[in-house]
């Protein structure tokens, strides 16, 4: 009986659209967090990353789960293209940093960092998977260097997150070249 209830809840979460309270044009909340790249931990600060160019910030529910692994592989394959277009890529989850360090080596293929989505960051970006829970939904943002959100994709399926953020970064870059 518990398995049936769990399976039903998992199905609902997997098919329900995520919601993002932060629309295009909103100011992205600043944050600093512990992150890992290739298993090596470091401090990541949004403000410092924005000085280099746009930031692709994607939230994911849990490391080493099917959808999050698929999404990490897709972002890893695109990481060099994001970099070529001047964007910093980072994924955030409410998982502990040690788990994320392992995830960064294996599933992120050492191509980009993942960090801890602290409760204040989860609340600030309104990416709770359910109110009162720290676990995040699957939402991707592109944040321009001025701190404004220029793209949002909020859907529990990993499909569309990489292509949408890449298109937004390329459009931002093309406007700058004008």
Q: Which domains does the chain have, with CATH numbers?
A: 18-177 (3.40.30.10)
Q: Which residues pair with 43 in a beta bridge?
A: 34
CA geometry: angle at 52 spanning 50 and 125, to 5°?
20
Query: According to the model, what pLDDT value does residue 13 have?
Result: 41
State the pTM of this model.
0.88
Catalytic option among 28, 63, 68, 168: 68
Which strand ranges, in their side-by-side order, compose the sheet holding 88-93?
40-45, 32-37, 114-116, 88-93, 55-59, 139-143, 149-154
Q: CA quadruple 49, 100, 93, 60: dihedral positive or negative?
A: positive
pLDDT average, residue stretch 109-118: 97
Is pLDDT above 60 for 9? Answer: no
With a CB cutoff of 8 Å and minimum separation 6, the contacts of 36 are: 42, 97, 100, 101, 103, 104, 113, 114, 115
Instruction: Work out the average pLDDT over 112-130.
Output: 93
Q: Quick check: is 108 catalytic? A: no
């Amino acid at each position: 009986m518990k398995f049936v209830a769990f399976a039903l809840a998992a199905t609902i979460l997997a098919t329900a659209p995520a919601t993002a309270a932060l629309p295009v044009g909103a100011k992205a909340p600043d944050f600093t967090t512990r992150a890992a790249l290739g298993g090596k931990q470091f401090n990541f600060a949004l403000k410092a990353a924005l000085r280099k160019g746009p930031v692709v910030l994607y939230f994911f529910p849990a490391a080493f789960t099917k959808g999050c692994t698929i999404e990490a592989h897709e972002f890893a394959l695109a990481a060099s293209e994001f970099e070529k277009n001047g964007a910093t890529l980072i994924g955030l989850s409410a998982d502990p940093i040690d788990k994320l360090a392992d995830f960064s080596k294996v599933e992120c293929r050492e191509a980009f960092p993942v960090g801890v989505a602290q409760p204040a960051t989860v609340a600030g970006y309104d990416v709770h998977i359910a109110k009162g829970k720290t676990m995040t939904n699957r939402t991707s943002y592109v944040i321009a260097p001025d701190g404004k959100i220029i793209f949002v994709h909020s859907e529990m399926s990993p499909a569309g997150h990489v292509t949408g953020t890449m298109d937004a970064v390329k459009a931002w870059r093309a406007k700058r070249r004008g």
